[in-house]
Amino acid sequence: MNLGIAGRRALVCAASRGLGRACAEALAAEGVSLTIVARRSEALETAAAELRTRYGVEVQTVACDITTAEGRELALKACAKPDILVNNAGGPPPGDFRNWSREDWIAALDANMLAPIEMIKATIDPMMDNGFGRIVNITSAAVKAPIQALGLSNGARAGLTGFVAGLARQVVHRNVTINNLLPGPFETDRLHSNFEAAAERSGKSIEEVREERMKTNPAGRFGNPEEFGEACAFFCSVRAGYITGQNLVLDGGSYPGTL
Ligand code: NAD
């Protein structure tokens, strides 16, 4: 299938590794030029060089923290009018809600709710003027089925999801869509650090925690980031213009609901 987005420009946040990187890869494979953002410039430059070599597309880099106003300003200075925006940032830490202060909540809201909303606010009007725009937010399967230790994530991401549900219906008449991708367990550094934390809490080895988690997944495995990136590229394609305000769970069938 030709996704019809060759020559478009995408701004992909938190993209030096993991799921953001996989989205950047899948878009580059379709001939999309990229501006990729991550905090550490060394990892970012390595990712950019690999993307350029592999796909022959233009790749700009912006080393910044996308959850800060200064970071967003830098990213938007480099790519003021993207055709495609992929919102992503690291997730909040696990813990017990009794230990979370107001500051912990504000940090989670800043990273996983307000930062993507600010990025949407800054880019959506030019998309509407152009008659084409695709926005994908990387959230979490925890939006549909809360993960007990990740209360900060459950709460902050639910806020973003509610906002997007309303906005998506106000912009689709100009061929601008906004959808959310909800990852279950994918093989990334983030998943590995979650296993480390779970192993420490339970006294089990990381490998035991990993095996147990894998067994509980109906697919019997974790997701490959490439599978995630390809779903993102489809949502960003011209083919997906009639899909908006949706929450696609990618979890190997873990979510047990019929709908
Ligand atoms: P990861 O740790 O493997 O990669 C994160 C990437 O984001 C890196 O490139 C890092 O440099 C960049 N980054 C992080 N915070 C940033 C910031 N503030 N500004 C700019 N760049 C930043 O993580 P991942 O597994 O790819 O996860 C991506 C998102 O998906 C996270 O929010 C995570 O909580 C969520 N998620 C992941 C999984 C999973 O299984 N991997 C499951 C559910 C939800």
pLDDT, tens digit, 9 for 90 and up, residues 210-258: 999 999 999 999 999 999 999 999 999 999 999 999 999 999 999 999 9
Asked if residue 136 has pLDDT above 90, the reply is yes
Q: How high is the mean pLDDT of the chain?
A: 97
Given ligand 1 and candidates 11, 12, 19, which is best to mutate, with the most ligand atoms within 8 Å of its CB?
A: 19
Indicate if ligand 1 lies below 6 Å from the C-beta of 138: yes
Which neighbouring-strand residues pair with 9? 33
Percentage of the residues of the chain whose pLDDT score is greater than 70: 100
Q: What is the pLDDT of residues 63-115, one digit of tens each?
A: 999 999 999 999 999 999 999 999 999 999 989 999 999 999 999 999 999 99
The closest of 237, 244, 240 to 32, measured between CA atoms, is 237
Indicate if ligand 1 lies below 6 Å from the C-beta of 150: no
| Ligand 1 atom 37, closest CA | 183
- Strand ranges across the sheet with 84-87: 59-63, 33-38, 9-12, 84-87, 133-138, 176-183, 247-250
What pLDDT, on the 0 to 100 scale, is given for residue 221? 97
Residue for token digits 């992929």? 86
Asked if residue 201 has pLDDT above 90, the reply is no
Asked if residue 197 has pLDDT above 90, the reply is no
Cβ–Cβ < 8 Å for 108, 153: yes
Q: What confidence tier does 119 reach under pLDDT thresholds 50, 70, 90?
A: very high
What pLDDT, on the 0 to 100 scale, is given for residue 193? 87
Indicate if ligand 1 lies below 6 Å from the C-beta of 65: yes
Q: Is the dihedral of CA 62, 64, 67, 73 positive or negative?
A: negative
**What is the separation, in whole angstroms, between the first and last Cα of the chain?**
27
- Give the span between the Cα atoms of 174 and 132, in whole angstroms: 7
| Ligand 1 atom 18, closest CA | 65
What pLDDT, on the 0 to 100 scale, is given for residue 190? 86
Residue 188 Cα to ligand 1 middle (Å): 8
Could you identify the atom of ligand 1 that is nearest to the CA of residue 18?
26
Backbone φ and ψ for 79, nearest 5 degrees, come out as: -145, 80
| Ligand 1 atom 25, closest CA | 190
Q: Chain centroid to CA 218: how far?
A: 23
| Ligand 1 atom 4, closest CA | 18
The closest of 26, 43, 27 to 79, measured between CA atoms, is 27
- Give the span between the Cα atoms of 26 and 43, in whole angstroms: 19
